[in-house]
Amino acid sequence: MNTHDTPLIVPAIERATHAVALAIERAFHGIGLTQADAHVLAYLAHHAPCSINDLHHSFGHKRSTLTSLLDRLEARGWVARAPHPTSRRMVLVQLTAAGQQIADQISATLRAIEARVLARTNADDIASFLRVLHALEEELT
């Protein structure tokens, strides 16, 4: 059997994604933070306020999934939704003070994970890896 008969990319991405989820769970044990919650909060740490459309384009969640995720974060007092100042059809998502605190912690945790990986790789490795990820995403969208 050659390597093209056995899936290589998707299982590797699945394992890496699971490893990231476990790292988030360890770092934020006891607060019931999902991986999706963590990534949205980390994004908002650097891009809030932003529209729900921005979040949708950044993560690709179904709109109903994103709404549920934002409902959870809002119920915890970490985000607030507000009318967009220039469009009646859009909604802005912003971090609360408590949300900014947790978002900054999550962002720092994810940056530390990336820094450890970057220390073990080089720019060509990263560029190749990102090309593979983009090709996979293009094939599936």
Q: What is the domain-level CATH number for residue 37?
A: 1.10.10.10
Give yes or no for residue 118 having a pLDDT over 90.
yes
What is the residue-averaged pLDDT of the chain? 93
Residues 6+ away with beta carbon under 8 Å from 32: none
pLDDT tens for 4-50 read: 677 799 999 999 999 999 999 999 998 989 999 999 999 999 999 99
Residue ranges of alpha helices (H) inside 28-96 are: 35-47, 52-59, 63-75
On whether residue 130 sits in a domain, the answer given is yes
Verify cis geometry, omega within 30 degrees of 0, for the bond prior to 11. Answer: no
What pLDDT shows up at residue 6?
A: 73
What's the confidence (pLDDT) of residue 111? 96
Q: How far apart are CA 23 and CA 29, in angstroms?
A: 10
pTM reported for the whole predicted model: 0.87
Q: How many domains are there within the chain? A: 1
With a pLDDT cut of 90, the percent of the chain lying above it is 82
> Domain span at residue 113?
9-134
pLDDT value for 4: 66
Q: Which of 16, 2, 5, 1 is nearest to 133 (CA)?
A: 16
> Is residue 19 a contact partner of residue 62, using CB atoms and an 8 Å limit?
no
In a domain, 139, yes or no: no
